[in-house]
Amino acid sequence: MSDSIAVAIIDAVVRRVASSPGERADAIEAGLPLLMDCVAPELLTDKMMFARFKLAFIRKWQATFPDIPVPDFEGVFDYDSMVKRFVEHLLAYRDRIYVRLGTSIRSAAELERALRAPLLDILFSAVLDALKFKGKVRA
C-alpha cells in the first residue's frame, strides 16, 4: 500500500467533513472505496494489521448495532462485496432495524440507504484504526 495515497484519501475526507460536518456520510462514501483498495492487500498479508482492523470493526459494530450479531467478513476485502455482505446481513435482522429506524422507512431501497451511512462509518473507523495502529497515519 502506498501510505501517501491512504493519507491523502483520509485527509480529503477529514477536510470535507471539517468544512461541512453534514457531509460526513457522503465524504466517507466517496473516499472509502479507494481507501479499501489501498489497504486490502495489507489486511490480507499482515496478521497484526488485520487483527487490529477486526477488533476495531467488531467494537464499532457492537456500539452501532448492539442487538445484531457481527457479520463474518474474513477473506472478503473487495469493497463492493463487503458492503453487500453487510447490508444482506443487516437485512436478515430487518425487524430489529425497523424498530431502531422507526416507521419512516417504506421500501427496501430506503432501508438500504438508511443502513449504508452507519456501515460505511464502521468500515472507515476500522480502517483508520488499523492504519493508526501500524503507524501509517497520525491520530
Question: How do residues 54-107 score in pLDDT, each as one tens digit?
Answer: 999 999 999 999 999 999 877 777 888 888 888 889 888 887 887 777 667 677
**Is the separation of the CB atoms in 56 and 129 below 8 Å?**
yes
For the chain, the C-alpha Rg in angstroms (whole number) is 15
Domains of the chain: which residue ranges?
Answer: 3-133
Global confidence as pTM: 0.85
Cell of 60: 464499532
Nearest by Cα to 54 from 64, 65, 44: 44
Residue 2 confidence (pLDDT): 62
pLDDT attached to residue 126: 93
What band does 53 get if pLDDT is binned at 50, 70 and 90? very high
Residues of the chain above pLDDT 70, percent: 95
Give the alpha-carbon dihedral of 127, 124, 4, 1, to 10 degrees: 40
- 105, 111 in Cβ contact below 8 A? yes
With 60 as the cut, is the pLDDT of residue 139 above it? no
